[in-house]
């Protein structure tokens, strides 16, 4: 199984290509939907990398694939501008999930 990247900027796509990961660059909602459908239809893709911006802008599309498909595994990665998450997002996630403060 291979990895595939759907990115919102060329720099992230170029960097991942240097690491051997193929991908595409999309900007609009309909382009994202088409790229996701193409990636999900390819049985050789086991891990689908998406830049975090898509998760924030189009959660309905991303969540639909996550909830209704077993494969590919979708992982949101930061782009070259860094992550949009708070510095303590992991500890706050654990606290919210199980009620323990770390």
Q: How many separate domains does the chain show?
A: 1
* Cis peptide bond upstream of 72, omega within 30: yes
At 22 the pLDDT is: 93
Residue-number span of the structural domain to which 10 is assigned: 2-98
- Looking at residue 45, its pLDDT comes to 93
CATH number at residue 27: 3.40.50.10580
Ranges of residues in the chain with a pLDDT under 50 are none
Q: Which residues of 57-79 are buried (b: 16+ CB within 10 A; e: fewer)?
A: ebeebbeebeeeeeebebebeeb
- CA–CA gap between residue 15 and residue 20 (Å, rounded): 9
pLDDT value for 82: 57
């Amino acid at each position: 199984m291979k990895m595939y990247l759907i990115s919102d900027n060329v720099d992230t796509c170029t960097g991942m290509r240097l690491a051997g990961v193929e991908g595409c660059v999309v900007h609009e909602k309909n382009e994202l939907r088409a790229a996701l459908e193409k990636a999900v239809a390819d049985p050789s893709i086991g891990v689908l990398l998406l830049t975090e911006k898509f998760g924030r802008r189009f959660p309905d599309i991303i969540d639909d694939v996550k909830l209704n498909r077993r494969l590919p595994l979708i992982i949101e990665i930061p782009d070259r501008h860094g992550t949009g998450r708070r510095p303590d997002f992991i500890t706050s996630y654990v606290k919210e999930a199980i009620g323990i403060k770390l």
